[in-house]
Amino acid sequence: MDEPVRITNQADGALDVALYGDIDFANSPPVREALRAAAAEGTPTAIRVDLEAVTFLDSSGIAVLVIAHRLATAAGAGFTVRNASPAVYEHLRLTGLTELFGMTRPGESFDD
């Protein structure tokens, strides 16, 4: 996939955000702008970020997630981050963001 982000507007008003590959300094600006534009088109009921296809996340990529969280908060929308690889999850855990993002350790569910 050439684009690092795909945003889908759902019928329930949620924005499903799928990120791909490395989310880093080189490609985070257009990802950030795509998120802002999608959120500005209407008031999302939720922003759900899927990290399943993310192979690397640097501080710029983490900033993208923080901005998405702020956009959701400003809209009064729910926010979730899911499907992080163990390495990406650990990176987010070390920054203290897994709890803020409501993430569970890879392989665990909310019921574990």
pLDDT at residue 83, rounded to an integer: 96
Query: 106 in a domain, yes or no?
Result: no
pLDDT higher than threshold 90 for residue 60:
yes
pLDDT for residue 112: 46
CATH of the domain at 49: 3.30.750.24
SS (H, E, C) the chain: CCCCEEEEECCCCCEEEEEEEEECCCCHHHHHHHHHHHHHCCCCCEEEEEEEEEEEECHHHHHHHHHHHHHHHHHCCEEEEECCCHHHHHHHHHCCHHHHCCCCCCCCCCCC
- Specify if 88 maps to a domain: yes
Give the pLDDT confidence of 6-34 residue by residue, as tens digits: 999 999 999 999 999 999 999 999 999 99
Q: What is the mean pLDDT of the chain?
A: 92
Question: 91-102 pLDDT, tens per residue?
Answer: 999 999 999 998
Assess if residue 110 is contained within a domain.
no
The percentage of residues in the chain with a pLDDT greater than 70, rounded to a whole number, is: 95
Residue 60, domain extent = 5-100
Domain count, the chain: 1
Tell me the pTM.
0.91
In a domain, 111, yes or no: no
User: Is the per-residue pLDDT at 80 higher than 80?
Assistant: yes
Structural domain includes residue 66? yes
